[in-house]
Amino acid sequence: MQTDPVKQKSAAKLKESLLQLRSIHIDPLERKWVNITLGMVALFVSIIMIDALVHGIHAPSNVETIDSARLHLSKEFAEDNLGVRVDDQGRITVRMVAGRYSFFPKYIEVPAEKTITFRWVSMDVLHGVHIPMTNMSTMIEPGYVAQITTSFPKPGEYPLLCNEYCGLGHNHMWSNISVVAKEDWSAPATSPVKGESENE
């Protein structure tokens, strides 16, 4: 019962504050620019929401950790498991390691018009990966697995570039992706990654 006076007192203070705000003189030109700014913010938020909800565009959300110092001993990113792999259900996965100043493997071949999952890890420092002429661009942080699922609409040669400064040899850090027509692509042997089925 004693909360009613407190609520009434807070409501009265809120009303008084709103009245004080309304009594402040705002020049019509300033009011116009405030309205334009708020309208632009509303437009940008609307575009982001439409893209997220209707078009399914969103920030990468794969949060998976890995010990960067022991990549060569890991089951998934051991040297024998890098490159293009096709599993029993025909899903294509490309595993690559970024390290000063190269991507490993240096060259891969994938089919056009097929869904491909790229998985990258860094063996040393922060790297970035960008494939021009596509929408693929992400950061590769040490200790985390970066993952993007995409497809290449047409055959061609696509350079894979590092877009995060990683040291003096940064401008030489690249790899090459050769995209061939899906009917001309010969899939590597369908074998699971060593130890992939085992629980760690």
The candidate with the shortest Cα–Cα distance to 101, out of 73, 130, 123, 118, is: 123
d(CA 168, CA 172): 9
Together in a domain, 115 and 149: yes
Residue 119 lies in a domain: yes
CATH number of the domain bearing residue 120: 2.60.40.420
Check whether the bond before 159 is cis (ω within 30° of 0): no
Together in a domain, 49 and 73: no
d(CA 18, CA 141): 48
Q: Which domain holds residue 24?
A: 3-53
d(CA 102, CA 123): 11
Together in a domain, 144 and 112: yes
Together in a domain, 76 and 175: yes
Together in a domain, 130 and 168: yes
Digit-by-digit pLDDT tens for the chain (200 residues) are 455 777 788 888 888 887 887 777 878 898 899 999 999 999 999 998 888 788 766 666 667 888 888 877 778 888 888 899 998 888 999 999 998 888 999 999 999 989 999 999 998 898 989 888 887 888 898 888 999 888 898 999 999 999 888 888 888 888 899 999 988 888 776 555 544 443 33
Together in a domain, 35 and 74: no
Residue 127 lies in a domain: yes
pLDDT per position as a tens digit, 42-78: 999 999 888 878 876 666 666 788 888 887 777 888 8
Together in a domain, 49 and 78: no
Residue 146 is given by DSSP the state E
Query: Quick one: pLDDT at residue 199?
Result: 37
pTM of the predicted structure, to 2 decimals: 0.65
Together in a domain, 78 and 171: yes
Residue 43 lies in a domain: yes
Residue 165 lies in a domain: yes
Answer for the pair 156, 188: CB distance below 8 angstroms, yes or no. Answer: no
Residue 77 lies in a domain: yes
Together in a domain, 49 and 132: no
Answer for the pair 102, 162: CB distance below 8 angstroms, yes or no. Answer: no
Domain count for the chain: 2
Q: What is the distance, to the nearest Å, from the Cα of residue 44 to the centroid of all Cα atoms in its chain?
A: 20
